């Protein structure tokens, strides 16, 4: 599975590594992903998701059920 947040859809970005001599070479800015288990009361089971730190904040704010519904709607959760 690719390194994409299942709640927010965040994925790696591409940019330049810049040396002291101002030489530029391509690099990737990876997402801060965590594998986290959540209990979903409506389904009465535990679900494991790959979420970014920002995705955790979203889950804390709107709740796991609403966050999973948005993830499914955006095609991030199967």
pLDDT digits (tens, 9 = 90+) for 64-78: 999 999 999 999 998
* Structure confidence at residue 2 as a pLDDT band (50, 70, 90): confident
pLDDT at 77: 92
Q: Report residue 3 as tokens.
A: 């390194």
Q: Is 6 inside a domain boundary?
A: no
pLDDT tens digits, 32-61: 999 999 999 999 999 999 999 999 999 999
Contact of 77 with 68, CB cutoff 8 Å: yes
DSSP secondary structure string for all residues of 63-75: -HHHHHHHHHHTT
In a domain, 44, yes or no: yes
Tokens coding 73:
């709607």
Question: What number of other Cβ atoms are within 10 A of residue 36's Cβ?
Answer: 14
Strand partners, 1: none
Question: Is residue 27 in a domain?
Answer: yes
Range of the domain at 50: 13-73
Q: What is the DSSP string of 11-41?
A: --EEEEEE-TT--EEEEEE---EEEEEEEET
Q: What is the CATH number of the domain that holds 23?
A: 2.30.170.40
- pTM score: 0.84
Domain count, the chain: 1
- Residue at 20 is within a domain: yes
pLDDT at position 78 = 84
The answer to whether position 4 is within a domain reads: no
Q: How far apart are CA 78 and CA 76, in angstroms?
A: 7
């Amino acid at each position: 599975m690719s390194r994409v947040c299942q709640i927010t859809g965040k994925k790696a970005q591409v940019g330049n590594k810049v040396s002291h001599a101002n030489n530029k070479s391509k690099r990737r800015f990876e997402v801060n992903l965590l594998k986290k288990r959540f209990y979903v009361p409506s389904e009465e089971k535990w679900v494991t998701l790959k979420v970014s730190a920002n995705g955790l904040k979203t889950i804390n704010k709107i709740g796991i059920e609403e966050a999973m519904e948005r993830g499914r709607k955006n095609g991030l959760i199967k």
